[in-house]
Amino acid sequence: MSIIRLHHPQFTRRQFLKVSGISSMSFLLGGCGTPTFEDLVGTLSEPLNEKIEKLIFQPQKLVPEFLPSEIQPEALIVNTFRGTPIIDQEKYRLVVDGEVDQPLNLSIAEIQSLPLTSMIIRHVCVEGWAAIVQWGGIRLREIIALAQPKSNVRYAYFKSADGYYESWDIASVLHPQTLLAYQKNGEPLPVDNGAPLRLASPIKLGYKQSKWVTQITLTSHLTPFRGYWEDLGYEWFAGI
């Protein structure tokens, strides 16, 4: 594996949004009022945010990875939403539905039979800590391709076994380093870290990387409920 190293500081998307005022505007609006008001907020602010995101985000650009010697086995902190759910992996199914021609209902064995992709990336938490982790799993775009999404799909919603929910833009979903992971540091993914399946990607902050994923719904629009933390005021795109 070739490792690309960047030594010069970069003007990140998050810094750009902070300077431009877009991030703070989203924070203030994201925590307001009723669903009716939130619908209006989405109509007014989301197109502006998306235009800025498209200028900065490069959907196929690979993020530099790390060497195995740089993995930090103890650095990944376990954060839970409502505690670790109990999942029977023999009965587990991943449902992929929404605006698709071929809805999926996959067992973990079926998912693990698909080509394995491994990457060593930095997991960055909005709380200020980070960890270099090796994740192994299936590229999410390969699962999406199996479901045959409609041409107007722009977003994906993720539902987790503990009730957590998230949404992503489709370009980030299809990024080649966005995984549905079932391995961590070369071993089976621990339950506390999201087994049997979790999102793992170097292009999103940690709160976007749902654990215990049970359902992916592809859609052409966002609802007023965009993500657990986003609905409390966090930034929706949350790119790094």
Joined tokens for residue 52:
């800025």
Q: Residue 175 above 80 pLDDT?
A: yes
- Structural domain contains residue 136: yes
What's the rounded mean pLDDT across residues 200-216?
A: 97
CATH code for position 185: 3.90.420.10
- Structural domain contains residue 123: yes
- Structural domain contains residue 35: yes
* Tens digits of residue pLDDT in 34-63: 333 333 333 334 545 555 665 666 777 899
- Structural domain contains residue 239: no
- Structural domain contains residue 64: yes
- Structural domain contains residue 61: yes
Q: Residue 115 above 60 pLDDT?
A: yes
- Structural domain contains residue 107: yes
Domain that holds residue 130: 13-232
* Tens digits of residue pLDDT in 153-162: 999 999 999 9
**DSSP-derived 3-state class of residue 234:** coil
Residue 192 has, within 13 A of its CA and on its CB side, a CA count of 4
Number of separate domains in the chain:
1
Q: If you compute the radius of gyration of the chain from its CA atoms, what whole number of angstroms results?
A: 17
3-class secondary structure per residue, the chain: CCCCCCCCCCCCHHHHHHHHCHHHHHHHHHCCCCHHHHHHHHHHHHHHHHHHHHHHCCCCCCCCCCCHHHCCCCCCCCCCCCCCCCCCCCCCCEEEEECECCCEEECHHHHHCCCCEEEEEEEECCCCCEEEEEEEEEEHHHHHHHHCECCCCCEEEEEECCCCEEEEEHHHHCCCCCEEEEEECCEECCHHHCCCCEEECCCECHHHCCCCEEEEEEECCCCCCCCCCHHHCCCCCCEC
- Structural domain contains residue 240: no
